[in-house]
Amino acid sequence: MNWSSWWEFFAMGGYAGYVWSSVGVTFLLLALELNQIVRARKQAIEWVQANTDPALPQ
């Protein structure tokens, strides 16, 4: 597609509501997924630290 202005780009040929809501939902889900990954990693590290005997050789 070729747009002659930024407004036409953001209007997406009349499909702006569908396009930008899809983009928004995608970024929201990616942010939630990243948040879940960070939380799971933190919990895994805490679990390993709590369940590791420091007297055992590594």
Q: Where are the domains of the chain?
A: 14-50
pTM beyond cutoff 0.85: no
pLDDT, averaged in runs of 10, over the chain (58 residues): 83 91 97 98 94 76
pLDDT for 58: 61
pLDDT for 1: 66
Cα–Cα distance for residue pair 45/49, rounded to 1 Å: 6
pLDDT for 52: 86
Taking Cα atoms as reference points, which of 8, 30, 5, 33 lies closest to residue 19? 8
pLDDT for 25: 98
